[in-house]
Amino acid sequence: MLSSFQVAALQMVSSSLLDDNLDQAEKLIREAAESGCQLVSLPEYFCFMGHKDRDKLAIKESDGSGRIQDFLYKISRKYAIWIIGGTLPIETNDPNRIYNSLLVYGPDGQRITRYDKIHLFSFTKGSESYNEAISIRAGKPEPHVFDAPFGRVGVAVCYDLRFPELFRAMGDIQLLVIPSAFTYTTGQAHWEILLRARAIENQCYVLAPAQGGKHENGRRTWGHSMLITPWGEVQNVLGEGPGCVSGLLDLDYLRKIRENLPALAHRVM
């Protein structure tokens, strides 16, 4: 088994211009790959942040075909890295709704898995209001895990972070990846606390790529993409603006944490 593996969380400030977003994503992916990262995750809505909830319907793709999926396929092959594209709009049988889908590609370009976000965010405070159910259909409510060279990886998206039972149901995982677009208000209050809690209770690394900054549609996202250790320590973080947060998964350290404090083995429910 590998003793270490280098990963990266990419932070973006996506716009309503698909071409610009894909160009920004490729630039950040190239930087991460050239620095030695073997697994790279993009944030939620990396390809598009529209002005209205239903704007994303205009760029929806059928499962397995489309420009955004072609981009992820080609970029993973080009740099021979694992790519987590979180997220893009995949069509449903309802013309007014899409799935908010996370796709994982291996170093050979093969698609490994697809996860459709299951918890749909809503929030209202003063003039600030969000309701993802307007344009998104929730996916099938089940945990999503895939095998990587260093171990098992669980994936979830943004608002999922608030539901710890989802992550507990993933079982023995070495890494959680949670692409997000937390609002500035909720992120400032809860983002880091929730991420550290998920790392501590599951005794695993957490990689959290995020949208981070002021978008052309007026929305402000919290950013603070980070990598967290199984002890709950923030290993690396980026406040706002586009960039890359990278670091090593130390698998020997992870095993030592679990040996010293065998909380997972002590579960009775």
- Which of 44, 61, 132, 240 is catalytic? The answer is 44
What are the angstrom distances between the C-alpha of 1 and each of 11, 32, 62, 207, 261? 30, 23, 37, 20, 22
Q: Let me know if 158 is a catalytic residue.
A: yes
Q: Let me know if 117 is a catalytic residue.
A: yes
Q: Let me know if 52 is a catalytic residue.
A: no
- Which of 37, 47, 117, 204 is catalytic? The answer is 117
- Which of 37, 158, 204, 244 is catalytic? The answer is 158
Residues serving a catalytic function are 44, 117, 158
